[in-house]
Structure 1
Amino acid sequence: MRRPHSEELLSAEPDTTRSVSEHPTPAEAEALAKAIPSSTLFQNRREITIAHDGSLYRLRITRQGKLILNK
């Protein structure tokens, strides 16, 4: 069995059965309170560079609005 690529994992279709705003679980509410909006990170750009543990990563927004992380 083939292991999914990291890009496939990050670009998997979101769960759209319900929005987080309607009756979130306590864990979802806590995660939402700590979440950083992507607009804050990207500031009108389509790609940002993240330095983590001595490595550089590119995080970009695709034309479909999904996030892709590359090393």
Structure 2
Amino acid sequence: MITEKIDKPSDRTPVRPVDDGPRVIDTSDLFGGDSEVIIRHEGALYRMKITRQGKLILNK
């Protein structure tokens, strides 16, 4: 019997759903241990923060 090792993606690998919908990115990958990041979108800067309650806030 021939078996093939199939590597499953790690928990930190961005996942693309089977239906090719939006990518899923874990906040630990996005924030890298910080509580806020700056996102540049079409020349404008946005600040995304994780609150003390664990919610996300996006401000321009």
Q: Please tell me whether residue 48 in structure 1 is matched to residue 54 in structure 2.
A: no
Larger Rg, first or second structure (1 or 2): 2
| Residue-pair matches, total | 43
Greater fraction of residues in helix: 1
The code of the aligned residue for 2:44 comes to: S
Report 1:1-71 matches (<5 A).
30=19, 31=21, 34-71=23-60
4+ long deviations beyond 3 Å: 28-32
Higher RCO by CA contacts (8 Å cutoff, separation 6 or greater): 1
TM-score of the pair, normalised by structure 1: 0.54
RMSD: 1.9
Q: Structure 2: where are the runs of 5+ without partners?
A: 1-16
Could you tell me the percent identity over the aligned residues?
Answer: 51
**Cα deviation, residue 68, structure 1:** 0.1
